[in-house]
A and B are shown apart, each in its own frame.
Chain A
């Protein structure tokens, strides 16, 4: 592959392309970063990828900077700069031109529609990010517990409405009185 010849070019190409598909921001693109950096290009090991994610969360600044870290480990400072710029500049220019375009045509219906169509996609992508990262770094029970604990505290009161909705949804389909009877009789509700 010619990407072995010049890793900086490979970085530029990879992240410029990736940014254009990063619907829902940098955290939605993490599965793709993992796929490319660990599985396709073998720039990093699983463990290094998890470490780099941790460093990017520890340091201040926008979440995209995980790209800077990947770039640095591939090709030093040049790699860091190239990776960061190619992840940021193409989409920033796109946003710039689209915002100017939208300012002229004040049709407010299309942005709302596009957003409604993209929201499930970007949540699904972020969910996949969480899953892949958890699989690479939660190798022990203790680690998995820390993740679960952080998720729980992060949810806090926000979880309550979801739980209520889920309970309502469940009780709609299986009537609780029948379940109770089934439990009293000692056989599984079914």
Chain B
């Protein structure tokens, strides 16, 4: 509200996007999405941004997400920052980021303090052990879900690269920067060459 945008921003008639949100609105919207999102915020972010607030169309959201997915770092944080800055510049990015990360950081810090004090209690240890087993299972399920498109396409090259990275990091415990500095260029070149060949035939 403090920064009143010039009303020259005309929404196209078929696009249902509404007026750009204020900094405070950004903060609270992202705080809400973040606190609703147990085990991942993406679903809630999509629902909030596209369906509830209509700040973006579904296509715009997908494009922004694709961008943030191929950049390094926590995807949802990147998305939040890029999204906020699209409306209100750097300040908008910071407001959205503070909303996304601030409240959960407070909660997690309290939990961490409780863990440090009571972490040795047997019942708590058992509960945490159970939760982590289940959470790991869900993580493994997500990995398989993400592999499905590669398997369906019979993308042998992708699957081999995937397996090599898995062995290097998971079994050999090599440092991540070293592995990525080798694997990323190789993956690039192979993908580029394969695309050219399939494009030519």
- A residues contacting B by CB (< 8 A) are 17-27, 29, 31-32, 35, 39, 48, 50-65, 68-69, 72-73, 77, 80-81, 84, 87-88, 90-96, 98-99, 102, 111, 113-121, 123-134, 137-138, 143-144, 146-155, 158-159, 161-162, 165-166
Task: Closest B residue to A124 by CB, please name it.
Answer: B165
Which of B66, B77, B112, B130 has a CB less than 8 Å from the CB of A73? Answer: B112
Q: Are A113 and B85 interface neighbours, CB within 8 A?
A: no
Tell me, in angstroms, the Cα distance from A60 to B15 when the chains sit together. Answer: 32
Q: Are A54 and B74 interface neighbours, CB within 8 A?
A: no
Tell me, in angstroms, the Cα distance from A165 to B77 when the chains sit together. Answer: 35
CB distance from A104 to the nearest CB of B (A): 14
Q: Are B35 and A25 interface neighbours, CB within 8 A?
A: no
Tell me, in angstroms, the Cα distance from A159 to B101 when the chains sit together. Answer: 34
Interface of chain B residues 21 through 38 with chain A (CB within 8 A): 34-38
Which of A72, A98, A132, A166 has a CB less than 8 Å from the CB of B151? Answer: A166
Which of under 10, 10 to 19, 20 to 34, or 35 or more describes the interface residues of B?
35 or more
- B residues contacting A by CB (< 8 A) are 34-41, 64, 66-82, 85-86, 90, 93, 97, 100-101, 103-105, 107-109, 111-113, 115-116, 119, 125, 128-148, 150-152, 155, 157-159, 161-166, 169-171, 173, 175-177, 180, 183-184, 187-188, 190-192, 195
Known: A73-B116, A121-B184. A94 touches B71 (CB 8 A): yes
Q: Are B136 and A133 interface neighbours, CB within 8 A?
A: yes
Tell me, in angstroms, the Cα distance from A47 to B40 when the chains sit together. Answer: 23
CB distance from A145 to the nearest CB of B (A): 9
Find the residue from A29, A81, A131, A158 having the highest chain B CB count within 10 A: A131
Which of A61, A64, A92, A130 has a CB less than 8 Å from the CB of B139? Answer: A130
CB distance from A96 to the nearest CB of B (A): 5
Q: Are A117 and B40 interface neighbours, CB within 8 A?
A: no
Q: Are A137 and B111 interface neighbours, CB within 8 A?
A: no
Find the residue from A21, A92, A147 having the highest chain B CB count within 10 A: A92
